[in-house]
A and B are shown apart, each in its own frame.
Chain A
């Protein structure tokens, strides 16, 4: 490597606007002047959602809008949730399906990802190409024949079409985990292998504990994806008592929405809340996971 270059001495006759401190100050002011209004603009829709959710009907249609409602009707959350559709049932259904799907994804995808990252076998490259290929494939190509298949199996109006496939892996998560596993030094598991550890033990005791950022990323993306999944429950589930939050929320909008913006915003906010909570709980690990694997959902 070349020796570090020394900075040439600066001339002493700098005009004021080129002085370091002034320039830095002006630079910071410019950054704030552009970024702060944008940040506010990005935040206010959610605040507006909350504000609407707390309003009494006649304040909703005030123009210009009233930001802080008077009175603050926290009861709108309870009324919107309980008085129209059985949202407690939908919540329970969404939770069961989402949690089960995440567990299924974690197990099936870490197994496959470990195999692709670490184990040598004939045909591996070709199979991995299949994983990549299916990542690019739009779900619209498979959704129709899957519908035919699941209908033939008698799975219509049940949770099975939503809950079975996640136990058989998801190409995007396999890819994400594989990328992460590849970054873990191979010496570690080769040492363990020499000590007689099996592949399963290496994955469980060595790779997974080191992969928390990637696993957190799978959990968060899995949660958001399953919680928000709209198309599948929409086409498969008919019975009210089996319905999930995303579809129920849209039914609520269709049936009561136009006259009840305060309830619609209240219930929408409640449906959104778990996503935000999960994100904030896993945020530290998650951001690292994304930065390390360069992937978004």
Chain B
């Protein structure tokens, strides 16, 4: 199991019901973790409309999860 820190924003924050959490997961990459969380919390955004940031920078979905990593799933942005 890998322990990671998660921060949620906007629609995902509302669907998760909190802004951040520390989670132990058996997922090995960011995509698998998003799938795990989607199944558990009923996220409505498919993965192809979401990006992931790891340790404060955009990252590919197949990035391996490392102990203590900070992840943010980024819903479609809508500034302006």
Same complex origin of A and B? no
